[in-house]
Amino acid sequence: MSDLELSNRAVRGRALPRPPRAGTVAALAFVAFLAVATVAPWLLQTADPLAIAPREAFEPPSAAHWFGTDESGRDVYSRVIEGTATSLLIGVSATAIGLALGLLLGGLAGLGGRVLDFVVGRVNEVLFAFPGILLALLIIVLWGPGPVTATIAVGLSTAPGYARIIRGELVTVRSSGYVEAARVLGHGRARVLARHILPNALAPMVVLATLGIGQAVVWASALSYLGLGAQPPAPEWGAMLSAGRTYITTAWWLTVFPGLMIVLTTITTTVLGRALAARDGARR
Amino acid sequence: MLWAVATLTFFAVHLVPGDPAQAILGGPGSQASQEALDQVRADYGLDRPLAVQYLAMLGRLASGDLGDSYALKTPVADLIAGQLLGTLTLALLALVVAWVLAIGLALWSTSAGRIGRAIAAGIELTAAALPHFWLATVLIAVFSTSLGWLPPVANDQPSGLVLPVLTLAVPLAGFLAQLMREQMLDALEQPFTTSALARGETAAGIRLRHALRHAALPAVNLSGWAIGYLISGAVVVETIFARPGLGRTLLRATELRDVPVVIGVVLVVALVYVAMTVLTDLVSRAIDPRIALEERA
């Protein structure tokens, strides 16, 4: 799920293949779709996502129900649209938490001098030994399952990766020619930091955040799927998948379509993140 | 390193609101009597100060004793030993399959034309974006329910391993292939490629004998991370395919708040991770002699 190495490369502007223009356009179109689904879901819905119609239960996809109906006859397509807001909110907040903490840790390590660098480095190494979802599971043991805990858990478990990248950026920028030039010209420490180091080191944050949202959506829905995040009958994508799992042998559409939204969201953020990284790389 | 992981886990678990003595006696629903709770606290040393408990845990860990499970009352070491092999088999098989898929894809896409490359890039991107839990359900729907080729539940037969391994391998292959293709294209533009061509080496020979070596290096470095990623993925995959293993043990222990088991599993995973990091280091030296040369210089 996490692709630290890849995002690191993207941040450094190192030749990750630039997505084709058509891909970027398609990704932007999907973002627009997600935005509408978040802000004004009723514009896209074909039915009431909570309306129960037991007689129409388990209908396969058709013209009336594009993604079929679930065990209570609810329209899966409308529920998927309804779930966009929750799923994205969890993904975006988790990324924000992870980035904020990563900035704090990475900033301390990259600017706080040797001792702090060493301490943060060791802490980070320990956190890296809890791969993937393990750290999130531990956090959920602490605070109990639920959507809020899941969000925090995902945010915290992505923080070490961000911290490492941010520290690397700060160290690179700090020892670069233009920063040295600014110092030699007699600019004060604060000025050099505010005008030269921070803007250049933090520019890749946009890329990181874009790539991170897709990843966070996947992690959060994985937790929901395991029954540790948002709970059914909430129309959150992971929870919908989890609920549909019971009927996988008879009604594949209950799991396939919410999952497809997750996959499309991840692909979209990856394509956009890389396009941004390629633009950044070209500008440097 | 392992000490830090154990310490962190210990304090994290003890910060949790809730009474471990309750958990030992079967959770809040069991309505254990006060005497029973006191007895359990004394037996497990839970009535002693946190610092004493912590030192006791470190002492036991140092002698290789992981303690007893709260829920199952069996030694954690036995519990983990029984599950470790299954998960490692799953993770290592997935790693191998992912490598084979990624190498195949990289070799093919670098020799294909523009359209072939675009298709390969699309496949890689999609594969890398597939969440385990979704891929697993889709694979079950297609290969078990519709086609009936493979069992939906992992059993002792080798056929029961196919779907879990594929679920773990495909997204990883997507990551690895992206890295390898990029490195390979890079290597094919290097002067040594031209000189090999001049020596009469075929295009396929260059790919196999020269470019692949360059392409493999970052992917090997990534394999240490990959094992951690696979074990964490095993939590989901083992749950879906009802396959016994560390991942499922961890998930159950998390739900039951079985502290010794959680600590034990996390420690073992950290140990595997450290071992893999050392191993990948050795492998990358074997692939690229320059690493050892640089260190000597």
What is the number of alpha carbons within 13 Å of residue A100 lying toward its C-beta? 10
In which band, very low, low, confident or very high, does the pLDDT at B155 lie, cut at 50, 70 and 90? low
pLDDT at B27 over 60: no
Indicate whether A180 belongs to any domain. yes
Residue of B nearest to A242 (CA): B133
Q: How far apart are CA A139 and CA A130, in angstroms?
A: 11
Contact residues, chain B, for A130 at CB < 8 Å: 5, 266, 269-270
Indicate whether A161 belongs to any domain. yes
A141-170 tens-digit pLDDT = 767 778 888 888 888 888 888 888 888 888
B225-250 tens-digit pLDDT = 788 788 888 888 888 888 888 888 88
Concatenating the DSSP letter of every residue in chain B gives -HHHHHHHHHHHHHHSSS-HHHHHTT-GGG---HHHHHHHHHHHTTTS-HHHHHHHHHHHHHTT---B-TTT-SBHHHHHHHHHHHHHHHHHHHHHHHHHHHHHHHHHHHHS-HHHHHHHHHHHHHHHH--HHHHHHHHIIIIIIIS--S-SS--SSTHHHHHHHHHHHHHHHHHHHHHHHHHHHHHHTSHHHHHHHHTT--HHHHIIIIIHHHHHHHHHHHHHHHHHHHHHHHHHHHHHTT--SHHHHHHHHHHHT-HHHHHHHHHHHHHHHHHHHHHHHHHHHHH-HHHHHHHH-
pLDDT at A283 over 70: no
Indicate whether A126 belongs to any domain. yes
Cross-chain CB nearest to B232 (options A125, A133, A266):
A133
CATH of the domain at A240: 1.10.3720.10
| ipTM, 2 dp | 0.75
Indicate whether A44 belongs to any domain. no
Q: Do A15 and B129 touch (CB under 8 A)?
A: no
Q: Do A267 and B125 touch (CB under 8 A)?
A: yes
In chain B, what percentage of residues exceed pLDDT 70? 69
Q: Of A41-55, A91-105, B129-143, which gets the smallest average pLDDT?
A: A41-55
Q: Tell me, what amino acid is at A9?
A: R
CA dihedral A36, A39, A40, A46 (to 10 degrees): 60
In which band, very low, low, confident or very high, does the pLDDT at A1 lie, cut at 50, 70 and 90? very low
pLDDT of residue A239: 83
Q: How many distinct structural domains can be found in chain A?
A: 1
pLDDT at A6 over 60: no
Q: Do A4 and B225 touch (CB under 8 A)?
A: yes
Indicate whether A111 belongs to any domain. yes
Indicate whether A254 belongs to any domain. yes
CB-CB neighbours of A127 under 10 Å: 21
- Average the pLDDT over A119-125 and give the result: 80
Indicate whether A153 belongs to any domain. yes
- Average the pLDDT over A33-55 and give the result: 75
Which domain covers residue A138, as residue numbers?
61-262
- Average the pLDDT over B96-102 and give the result: 88
- Average the pLDDT over B106-115 and give the result: 76
In which band, very low, low, confident or very high, does the pLDDT at A50 lie, cut at 50, 70 and 90? confident
Q: How far apart are CA B236 and CA B238, in angstroms?
A: 6
What is the distance of C-alpha A219 from the center of its chain? 8
Indicate whether A51 belongs to any domain. no
pLDDT at B276 over 50: yes
Cross-chain CB nearest to B175 (options A3, A122, A241):
A3
CB-CB neighbours of A107 under 10 Å: 19
| Cis bond before residue A233 (omega within 30° of 0) | yes
Q: Do A3 and B128 touch (CB under 8 A)?
A: yes
pLDDT at B195 over 80: no
